[in-house]
């Protein structure tokens, strides 16, 4: 009965997508284990589709239970076909808590990025704790000097924060628990807990009233 309700070509496409997703659910776990003790993921992860992982020398990634990561393939229409990326530079850390959900984020740690429990990252967010380059143009003429003089500061996102799609979170920022960051924001300064904030640069719009 099911086959009669949809065209055969649509059934083949759906079947291929199902097989593809099941493959990457297993392959991504294998990839994570291949990094050894420098990358750990807790119970019941769901890593959907192909993603980029780059773990540099003397760095670590620690992820809690029930981590859900969607990567491209229009799994979240706002992400379209953008792949998720998790990367560290030398001697850097990424720590992600329990029950975190993300759609096609780019998380790149040069020093330390900490994401708390029950955080949701909207489609195509960027979390970057470094300028990546020196602000001195003379330094940038030499890649080694440039890298030595870049400025990096830890990022902390506390529990139950909701980050809107296409938000950019930059170095040295702390976002307080339960706050909501509007889509398309650029966060360059600390955001207190229990508030709604948005804009470029991101500013508090109003406090969230609690019963």
User: Residues with Cβ < 8 Å from 138, sequence gap 6 or more?
Assistant: none
CA 21 and chain centroid, separation:
20
The bridge status of strand 174-175 relative to strand 180-181 is unpaired
For residue 133, indicate whether it is catalytic: yes
Q: Which one of the listed residues 17, 31, 133, 178 is annotated catalytic?
A: 133
DSSP-derived secondary structure for 145-205: HHHHT--B--EEE-TT-EE-TT-EE-TT-EE-TT-EE-TT-EE-S-B-SSEEEETTTTEEE
Catalytic residues: 133
């Amino acid at each position: 009965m099911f086959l009669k309700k949809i065209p055969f070509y649509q059934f083949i496409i759906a079947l291929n997508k199902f097989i593809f997703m099941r493959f990457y659910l297993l392959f991504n776990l294998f990839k994570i284990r291949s990094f050894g003790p420098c990358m750990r993921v807790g119970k019941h992860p769901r890593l959907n589709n192909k993603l980029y992982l780059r773990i540099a020398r003397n760095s670590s990634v620690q992820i809690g239970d029930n981590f859900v990561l969607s990567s491209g393939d229009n799994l979240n229409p706002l992400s379209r076909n953008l792949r998720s990326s998790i990367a560290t530079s030398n001697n850097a850390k990424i720590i992600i808590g329990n029950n975190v959900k993300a759609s096609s984020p780019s998380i790149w740690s040069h020093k330390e990025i900490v994401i708390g429990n029950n955080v949701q990252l909207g489609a195509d967010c960027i979390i970057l704790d470094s300028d990546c380059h020196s602000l001195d143009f003379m330094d940038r003429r030499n890649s080694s000097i440039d890298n030595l003089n870049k400025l990096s500061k830890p990022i902390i996102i506390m529990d139950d924060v909701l980050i809107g799609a296409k938000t950019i979170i930059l170095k040295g920022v702390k976002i307080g628990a339960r706050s909501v960051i509007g889509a398309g924001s650029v966060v360059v300064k600390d955001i207190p807990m229990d508030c709604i904030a948005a804009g470029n640069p991101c500013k508090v719009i109003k406090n969230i009233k609690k019963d």
